[in-house]
Every structure is written in structure tokens, then in C-alpha cells.
Structure 1
Amino acid sequence: MPVKPSQYWRTETEKETHAVSAGTMDPESASFLGVYSESFLNAVDAALTNFESDVRELAPTSDAQVLAAVERVVLALNRVNQEETGGSIDTDEREQICLFIDEALTEHGIDVGELAARQQVSRYAITDRWREW
């Protein structure tokens, strides 16, 4: 499975924390510090971990199953974005999450481009019908 965006955000936050502590980075230059709370990161992690589990159980030939898994993760992330403090899913996060979903499905043998075409949407728009972020 690809690296979860929340893992990337956590790692970058830790790097900046160490750099600021060491005096090698000005806190005002940090782009991750203070952006994500641990509870926000944990909630995103949980939603994406559940999606990974769903993907492992999918029949790659069933559009309905694949789209149901995408819908579940998108709705879970909608809840995270609405309910968790200390973070939000904005443009950069959205792009990373959509890429993660695409890569996870692709690694499982699902041709996301063909799936999207059958749904009459672009490859990167398969989340759009449920997504609020």
C-alpha cells in the first residue's frame, strides 16, 4: 500500500519540530508545525487504514464494490474534516488523499482510469460525488 498522507504530514511535522528545536529552522518558515493535531492525524489514519482493509477484500471486477469502498472512506474523511479540530482537509491534503486512493486501488489491480470512464468522470473525480472537502 502507498504511504498514507497522514503519515507524511506527521513525518514532516516531526522534521520541522526537530529543526526548530535545533535552531536550524526559523519557526516562521515551518509549513507543518501547528497545522495538524494528533487527534486529526489519528482520525485520518483510521479512515485510511479502514480503506486499505476494504481494498484487500475487493473483487477488482466489481465497480459497485470498489465504489462502495471509495464512498466509505470519503464519508469517513468528511466526518473527520467536520468533527476534528487541529487540522482540515484543504487543497493540498485533498490532492494527496485522492492520489492515495488511486494508488491503493491500482496496487490492488483496479484500473482506476477505466473505472472512472465507466462512471463518466475523470480518474481523479471518483471521490467527487461524496466529497465535501
Structure 2
Amino acid sequence: MAERPATSWRHGIAEEAEELAAGTLDPECACMAALFPEELLTATDVVLDVFEGELPRLGEAPDEQVFAVVERVVLALNAVDDAHNGSAFETDEREELCDYIDELLTEHGVDVVALTTRHGLGRYQLTDKWRKW
């Protein structure tokens, strides 16, 4: 199963804290905790909990239903980003979130390539219509 982006970000925070404690990282170079405050991680996880709850019924669902689920998760992530002054998700985080959405849909039986192709989109354009982050 795909790893949640917030889980990866928490691992990065923990690794950075260990390096700081060991004295192998200059405190001025530490940025993970500031980039990923717990409030952001929790809000992202709440959104992804809802998304994951909708996945089991999507394997044979019509395209419109799949797109509706994608739209809801993207709009909810937009709200998280807005709550953090539009700077919650930078380039790497955006890619991780998009990959996570794609991977989970695939794991639940959605052929993302076929879905996007049927609608004149490239595979990695699945979230573009709604995404502000």
C-alpha cells in the first residue's frame, strides 16, 4: 500500500530531530518541523482518511463517480493549503500527494491511465482541474 505523504513527512521530522540531538546537523539547517507543523500533518491526514474511505467502491464505478471522489479530496487539500496561507504544499509535497491519489486509486481497481485517456487528459493531469496547491 502506498505510504501517506504525512507519514513520510513525519519520518523526515524524526530523522532531523535525531540528527540535531546527535549534533550531526547544524540547527540553522533544520527545517522539517517548521515546514510540517503537526496541525498541517493532522489536517492532511483527516482529508486522506475521508478519501481512503471512499475508495473501496470505486473499482467498477463510472468515471463521473471516480472524478467526484478526486475532486472532493483535491478541494479538501486546497482548503488545508489555504489554511496555511497557500504554502502548505510545495513542489515535492504536491507530487507526493498526486502520486498518492493515483496509487491508491490504482490499488483499488481504477485504471487511471484509461480513465484520464478517455477524458483527453494525461495520466498526471488527474487533479489539475481542481488543484490550487
Q: TM-score, normalised to structure 1's length?
A: 0.92
Return 5+ residue gaps in structure 1 as ranges. none
Q: Is the contact made by 2:5 and 2:93 (CA closer than 8 Å) also made in structure 1?
A: yes
What is residue 81 of structure 2 aligned with on the other side?
81
What is residue 62 of structure 2 aligned with on the other side?
62
Structure 1 CA distance, aligned partners of 2:33 and 2:107? 32
Q: CA deviation at 1:64?
A: 1.0
RMSD between aligned alpha carbons?
1.5
What is residue 25 of structure 1 aligned with on the other side?
25
Q: CA deviation at 1:31?
A: 4.6
What is residue 41 of structure 1 aligned with on the other side?
41
Q: CA deviation at 1:90?
A: 1.4
Return 5+ residue gaps in structure 2 as ranges. none
Structure 2 CA distance, aligned partners of 1:108 and 1:59? 6
Aligned positions, number: 132
4+ runs deviating over 4 angstroms? none
Structure 2 CA distance, aligned partners of 1:102 and 1:83? 24
Structure 2 CA distance, aligned partners of 1:43 and 1:63? 27
Q: Deviations over 1:47-100 (max 9, x none)?
A: 111111111222434111111110000000000000136x61111111000000
Q: TM-score, normalised to structure 2's length?
A: 0.92
1:113-124 mapped onto 2 (5 Å cutoff):
113-124=113-124
Farther off after superposition, 87-96 or 70-79: 87-96
- The question of 1:130 aligning with 2:130 is answered yes
